[in-house]
Amino acid sequence: MLNANYMRARLSDLFPMAYDRICMHEFVMTLEKLKEETGVSALDVAKAMLDHGIHPPTMYFPLIVHEALMVEPTETETRETLDEAIEVLRSICDRAYTDPQSLHLMPETTPIRRPDEVAAARSPRIRYDFEAVGN
């Protein structure tokens, strides 16, 4: 609870909170204004977080909140780790206003960039090496 409320309070000046009240273990930000002003979506922000070594939060949940990011920091995270995540989100937001096109191309440092998620869901290519299992 403490970590979620700490992050929510530190980010509320930048991202509107879908439910602007004390939370339990998670909070939901809406990036709808960011998308309207810059064209940068919650998906773009989540993909950019990967380039900073941060696992992105749940996106588009709940479905009633447009451009939602649901953040659930664990209680074992240090304040320094939380502050780093907050600064990463702030820097991504700044970049959205100065260089929005670059965020549409992220992640840049991961082995897989941006797969076609619709094609992957409709025509999955699943490979499993059964011979390697016993070795």
In tens, the pLDDT along 54-71 reads 999 988 766 789 999 999
Q: Give percent helix, percent strand, percent coil of the chain, each to the nearest 5.
A: 45, 10, 45
Amino acid at 33: K
Helix axes 79-98, 42-51, angle to 10 degrees: 120
Residues 6+ apart with CB under 8 A from 38: 96, 97, 100
Give pLDDT, residue 41: 96
pTM check: above 0.75:
yes
Q: Quickly state the pLDDT bin for 132 (edges 50, 70, 90).
A: low
Band of residue 134 on the pLDDT scale cut at 50, 70, 90:
low
- Do 103 and 96 contact (CB within 8 A), yes or no? yes
Residue range of the domain that includes 48: 2-133
Kindly state the tokens that stand for 12.
Answer: 């509320």
Answer with the residue of higher pLDDT: 127 or 99.
99
CATH label of the domain that carries residue 115: 3.90.1150.10
**Considering just the CA atoms, what is the radius of gyration of the chain in Å?**
17
Query: For position 135, what pLDDT does the model report?
Result: 53
At 103 the pLDDT is 97
Q: Looking at the 3D structure of the chain, how many domains does it have?
A: 1
Closest to 16 in 3D by CA, of 29, 4, 6, 26: 29
Query: Above 70 in pLDDT, residue 87?
Result: yes
Model confidence at 117, in pLDDT bands (50, 70, 90)?
confident
